[in-house]
Structure 1
Amino acid sequence: MNTGSYFEAIDEHRFKPTAHASGAWSVDEYHFSPLGGLLVHAIDQHLAGRPDDGLVSARISFDILGRLPLDECEVRVETLRPGRTIELLEAVALIADRPVVRARAWRLAAGDTSAVAGGGAGPLTPPEELARWPMGSVWPGGYIDSLDVRPVAPPQPGRATAWISSPLDLVAGHTSSNLASYVALVDTANGIGVRQSPTDWMFPNVDLTIHLHRQPEGRWTGLDTTVTFGPTGQGITSTVLHDINGAVGYAQQLLTVRPL
Structure 2
Amino acid sequence: MSYFERIDSTSFRSTPHVGGAWKTDEQHIAPALGLLAHVVECDRDARRDDGLVIGRLSYDILGTVPIDVVDTSVTVLRPGRTIELVEAVLEYDGRAVVRLRAWLMQPRPTTELVATAHPPIASPEDMEPWDASTVWPGGFIASTEVRRAQAAPGRAAFWVRTPIPLVDEKVSGFAGAAGLLDIANGMTVRADPKQVAFPNLDLTAHLFTEPRGEWIGFDTTVSFGPDGLGLTSSVLHDLDGPIGTMSQILTVRPN
Give TM-score, length-normalised by structure 1. 0.95
Checking the alignment, whether the CA contact within 8 Å between 2:156 and 2:221 is kept in structure 1 is yes
Q: What's the secondary structure of 1:227's corresponding residue?
A: strand
Q: In the alignment, is the contact (CA less than 8 A) between 1:165 and 1:220 conserved in 2?
A: yes
Q: Tell me how far apart the structure 2 counterparts of residues 140 and 61 of structure 1 sit (CA, whole Å).
A: 26
- Equivalent residue, structure 1, for 2:193: 198
What CA distance in whole angstroms lies between the structure 1 residues aligned with 2:48 and 2:191? 48
1:89-108 alignment to 2 at 5 Å? 89-108=86-105
The structural deviation recorded for 1:207 is 0.2
Query: What is residue 242 of structure 1 aligned with on the other side?
Result: 237
Q: Which residue of 1 aligns with 2:40?
A: 43
C-alpha distance in 2, partners of 1:37/1:120? 28
The worse-fitting range, judged by mean Cα deviation, of 67-76 and 193-202 is 67-76
Please tell me the residue identity of whatever aligns with 1:39.
L
Contact residue 123 and residue 244 of structure 1 kept, 8 A: no
| Residue 226 of structure 2 corresponds to residue 256 of structure 1 | no
**Mapping for residues 1-260 of structure 1, pairs under 5 Å:** 4-151=1-148, 153-154=149-150, 156-172=152-168, 174-260=169-255
Q: 1:9 to 1:155 in 2, by over 3 A?
A: farther
1:81-137 Cα distance to aligned partner (Å, 9 max, x none): 000111001100000110110001001121111222212423322213433211000
CA distance in 2, matches of 1:30, 1:42: 18
1:6-53 per-residue CA deviation (whole Å, 9 max, x = no partner) reads: 011111111111111011100011111101000011111112213322
| CA distance in 2: counterparts of 1:121 and 1:17, whole angstroms | 36
Q: CA deviation at 1:175?
A: 1.3
Partner AA of 1:229 in structure 2: F
**Mean Cα displacement is larger for which, 155-164 or 34-43?**
155-164
Q: Which amino acid aligns with 1:193?
A: T
Contact residue 155 and residue 192 of structure 1 kept, 8 A: no
Note the alpha carbon deviations across 1:39-79, whole angstroms, 9 max, x for none.
01111111221332232100010001112222210010111
Counterparts of 1:77 and 1:41, CA distance in 2: 11
Name the CA distance, whole Å, in 1 between partners of 2:23 and 2:10. Answer: 25
CA contact under 8 A between 2:15 and 2:68: conserved in structure 1?
no
Unmatched 5+ residue regions in structure 2?
Answer: none
Q: Aligned to 2:47, what secondary structure does the other structure show?
A: coil
Aligned partners of 1:92 and 1:10: how far apart in 2? 17
Residues 198-227 of structure 1: CA deviation (Å, up to 9, x unaligned)? 000000000000000111111111011000
In structure 2, the CA distance between the partners of 1:50 and 1:191, relative to structure 1 (3 Å rule), is same
Q: Is the 8 A contact 1:29 1:70 kept in 2?
A: yes
Structure 1 segments unaligned to the other structure (5+ residues) = none
> Against the structure 1 CA distance between its residues 160 and 242, is the aligned structure 2 distance closer, same or farther, given a 3 Å change threshold?
same
SS where residue 24 of structure 1 aligns?
A: coil
**Structural RMSD (CA):** 1.1
Q: Distance in 2 between matches of 1:91 and 1:218?
A: 25
The one-letter amino acid paired with 1:212 is L
* Conservation of the 8 A alpha-carbon contact between 1:6 and 1:18: yes
Give the total of aligned pairs.
255
Percent of aligned pairs with the same amino acid: 48
Secondary structure (helix, strand or coil) at the match of 1:187 reads: helix
